[in-house]
Amino acid sequence: MKNLVLFTLLFVFILGCSNPGKITAPATYSEAADPSADTLTDWSTVTPGLHASIGSVDYRYNKSLIPDLANTNAWNGFAWRNEKISAQLVLWNNQPAGIVECRFSEFKTEDGKTLPADIARAQFVRYVLTDEFGPGCGYRKPEDFIARISPDVLDTLSAFKMEPQSTRPLWITFDVPADAAPGSYTSSMQLMLDGKKHSDFTFTVEVADRTLPEASDWKFHLDLWQNPYAVARVHDVELWSAAHWDLLRPLMKLLADAGQKVITATLNNRPWGGQTEDAFGSMIAWNKHADGSWTYDYTIFDQWVQFMMDLGIKNQINCYSMVPWGNELYYHDVASDEEVKVVAKAGTKEFEELWTPFLKDFVKHVEQKGWKDITRIAMDERSPEEMKATMNLLAEVVPGMEVAFADNHHNYKIFPDQLTDLSVAFGAEIEPEILQYRKDHRYISTWYVCCADGFPNVFTFSEPAEAVFVGWYTMATGFDGFLRWAYNSWVKDPLTDSRFRTWPAGDTYIVYPDARSSIRFERLREGIQDAEKIRLLREEFQNSSSTEAQEKLAQLTELVARFNFTQKPADFNDLMREGKQTLENLSK
């Protein structure tokens, strides 16, 4: 059935390209209705036909409002080689206008250099239900919060049928090749309506004589936690089946291409309890035999780790969790062929009896696989008492085993050399001497946001530039990167409703099913690229004794320092744009 649908869509697409007079919009899902549509908007003031203008990537355009845009048909961007940049085109109409497509021409410079048309990609932005920050964390009823729809999903459709009295953004990305010659490249984009040219737009990308490394080589330590269990549920496929792996591949490749460094793996069932729609299962089967001995099956763990490494994510394996939420551990009792749940708090006899044989076997296994040096026992927001008991057991049973920890209790002061991957909550300052100590020992120090942070964040209602700020704040504070707990812990219907029962909308995921990216994710990647550019320019200027280089270094240092703030300023978007413009100037 799936193959038939794919063949039908392919046939429609080919037919549309070969015969412009017969355009059919690809089949797609229905968006949620706007629960807060502005009934005062007078769409009758919009003249008949399709309207289009270049907008701003910093603005979320309301579906039910007439966009306040001048008719702008030219756009200019600046990029390093191997960088990905974005623009936003906004469409609107009063009466149904028809089916819209975009066609780019080859990119050319005045002196004849070219880049292929397919470095540009236009994606129709889809709307998803969202809410508001409110109290942040805590259970919430939908009726207690303002509901609206927010533009966020970047769909993979080749064409889209415009609805009456509606606005539809188009997100356009330009993926500059690593071997592009420097120069100013221009492409003419034809906006097609029902197979005929509606209007032309000019997009110019100035390519600098500088190159970003491949994403896998970026120094920025990105750690977005993956949830393969959600993929199986949303797509209704068997867990770890061939179909499941096929669905995971493009989704996780999207993450790898953003510079992800860490593989999220599980040691036992439900490391975070049942807080998400899909509780994480165990990638390792624990089997207790009648004689009291244990065996462990690492089949899924090995397949998952190798799968992610093949996609380019291979710096680190974070394994959750010795201290699960609720202190529940699960194993298979071979004699009774039943699953057994045990409550084993850190420091208790039950805790030691369960973890001691496992840890010894696990370390032996990752050593055999050649993964021990990149494997971390990982834990999330545990108390000092729990951490002390856990660290003591690790030191006793598997001395030298490194630990990754999201720390909201200042545990890093107690364990200066065991927490080799430390992430602290936004706004928590690691003492300068401790941060320097960690840098000197090549320990990872990052920061994270969660449901408690109204700013900065990547909720579906957050301002898009907040995601860019992540990279700038990281560089301003001296951290190595950024952690966020949810790459794809999808809600019940992630394509239409991003709200969740306990946290602000969008908190549990930043990408969508079928490897659909989002405005939030693209802007996050943009900020990480900015961080890499800051790092590379800083190194270049530091290594040069020229007066010009030292002046630029001072200018860069002053610029980056401006982004060390925890309260959102009133001129936030202006500040971000000014920062990016200065970074562009320093790149020339």
Q: Write out the E strands in 131-241.
A: 148-154, 160-161, 166-175, 183-193, 196-211, 221-224
d(CA 20, CA 195): 4
pLDDT digits (tens, 9 = 90+) for 192-226: 999 999 999 999 999 999 999 999 999 999 999 99
Domain ranges in the chain with CATH number 3.20.20 = 219-518
Fold for domain 219-518? TIM Barrel (3.20.20)
Closest CA to 510 of 303, 260, 218, 140: 260
d(CA 178, CA 138): 45
DSSP letter assigned to residue 254: H
pLDDT of amino acid 22: 67
pLDDT digits (tens, 9 = 90+) for 232-253: 999 999 999 999 999 999 999 9
Burial of 165 (0-12, 13-18, 19+ CB in 10 A): middle
pLDDT digits (tens, 9 = 90+) for 496-553: 999 999 999 999 999 999 999 999 999 999 999 999 999 999 999 999 999 999 999 9
| CB distance 532 to 219 below 8 Å | yes
d(CA 513, CA 36): 26
d(CA 77, CA 184): 9
d(CA 572, CA 462): 13
Percent of the chain with pLDDT strictly greater than 90? 91
pLDDT digits (tens, 9 = 90+) for 344-399: 999 999 999 999 999 999 999 999 999 999 999 999 988 999 999 999 999 999 99
Q: What is the number of residues in the chain?
A: 588
d(CA 147, CA 164): 22
DSSP letter assigned to residue 212: P
d(CA 272, CA 139): 16
Query: What is the overall mean pLDDT for the chain?
Result: 94
* Helix, strand, coil fractions of the chain, as percent rounded to 5: 30, 25, 40
**Domain 2-211, CATH among 3.40.50.80, 2.60.40.1940, 2.60.40.10, 3.90.1150.10:** 2.60.40.10
pLDDT digits (tens, 9 = 90+) for 547-560: 999 999 999 999 99
Domain ranges in the chain with CATH number 2.60.40.10 = 2-211
Average pLDDT over residues 51-62: 98
| CB distance 99 to 28 below 8 Å | no
pLDDT of amino acid 16: 36
Closest CA to 404 of 365, 371, 431, 443: 443
Average pLDDT over residues 564-583: 98
